[in-house]
């Protein structure tokens, strides 16, 4: 099996976990003071920001639609295209 398949799978699983941990507090900490949610978010984000993942929106959009019950919007498509554009300009030779 090519190494890219398990690496991609692990990145997707990792990103799914981080997305849930990062955004679920909006729903689960809604009765707590804002600074508790901020500290939890910043603690999680510290490790998340150490990685650069382009697949974040591929995980975030289904999470937002299915778990957070947000409507599917074209803004997600435009945001994805902006990230792809950023990757292109970062790595073009």
Question: SS3 letters for the chain?
Answer: CCCHHHHHHHHHHHHHHHHHHHHCHHHHCCCCCHHHHHHHHHHHHHHHCCCCCCCHHHHHHHHHHHHCCCCCCHHHHHHHHHHHHHHHHHHCC
pLDDT tens-place string over residues 7-60: 788 788 778 877 877 787 778 888 888 888 778 877 776 666 555 766 777 788
User: Average pLDDT for residues 50-78, to the nearest whole number?
Assistant: 82
- pLDDT of amino acid 19: 81
Domain boundaries, the chain: 4-91
């Amino acid at each position: 099996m090519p190494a890219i398949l398990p690496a991609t799978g692990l990145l997707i699983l990792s990103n799914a976990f981080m997305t849930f941990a990062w955004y679920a507090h909006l729903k689960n900490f809604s009765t707590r003071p804002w600074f508790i949610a901020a500290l939890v978010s910043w603690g999680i984000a510290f490790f998340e920001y150490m990685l650069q993942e382009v697949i974040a929106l591929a995980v975030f959009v289904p999470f937002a639609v299915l778990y957070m019950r947000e409507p599917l919007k074209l803004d997600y498509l435009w945001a994805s295209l902006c990230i792809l554009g950023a990757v292109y300009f970062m790595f073009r030779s």
